[in-house]
Amino acid sequence: MKKYRISEDGKTLVVAKDSIVDKHLRFDGRILAGIMSCFWGNIEAEEIRLAGRNVVGGDMICERAIIGAKSEFNRLIARGNVVIFPRCRGRYVEADSVIIREGCIIGAVRANRIIIDGLAKIGRLDGGKIIASKDL
């Protein structure tokens, strides 16, 4: 079931919690997704904000992204900053700056600046500046 609406100003697409979006989703603006939403296709937007426990089967292409805790995704390609909250799983992340929190499992990360906050499992890192710390 697709349960989403556009905000009053027309710049934000809000996906309700427990929604299933079975097609590609493209929006000129910001996409906010509630908890436990499932996206079977690609998501393209200026900014993507996923609450916790979301699943994205396709690619996410955006300027900026915030991925909530315990989310799963395939590929995330952003031109700006990306924040990945604890215990997320992903196959590939590419961005200018990436912050990865504790407990994440990521296949490969490619960015100019990578900050790993806590214990995370990352298969391959390609970056200009890589900072790993238990406490930031």
Model confidence pLDDT, tens digit, residues 5-41 = 898 888 999 999 999 998 999 999 999 999 999 999 9
**What integer is the mean pLDDT of 83-105?**
96
pLDDT at 62: 96
Question: How confident is the model at residue 3, as a pLDDT?
Answer: 79
Q: Is pLDDT larger for residue 97 or for residue 1?
A: 97
Tell me the pLDDT of the chain averaged across its residues: 93
In our burial notation (b when 16+ CB lie closer than 10 A, e otherwise), range 61-76 reads bbebbbbbbbbbbbbb
Per-residue confidence (pLDDT) for residue 1, from 0 to 100: 57
Per-residue confidence band for 135, with pLDDT thresholds at 50, 70 and 90: low
Write down the pLDDT at residue 7. Answer: 86
Listing DSSP states for 32-50 in one string gives: EE-TT-EE-S-EE-SEEEE
Give the residue among 116, 121, 122 at the shortest CA–CA distance from 134: 116
What is the reported pTM? 0.90
Tell me which long-range contacts 45-50 makes (C-beta under 8 A, separation of at least 24).
Answer: 45/13
For the chain, how many structural domains are there in total? 1
Q: How many CB atoms lie under 10 A from the CB of residue 16?
A: 15
Residue 89 pLDDT grade (very low, low, confident, very high; cuts 50, 70, 90): very high
H/E segment holding residue 1: none
User: Could you give the CA distance from residue 72 to residue 120 in angstroms, rounded to a whole number?
Assistant: 15
pLDDT at 133: 87
Strands 47-50 and 64-67: parallel
Residue 105 has pLDDT above 90, yes or no: yes
Q: Which domain holds residue 32?
A: 4-133
Nearest to 69 by CA among 93, 88, 83: 88
Give the mean pLDDT of 55-76. Answer: 96
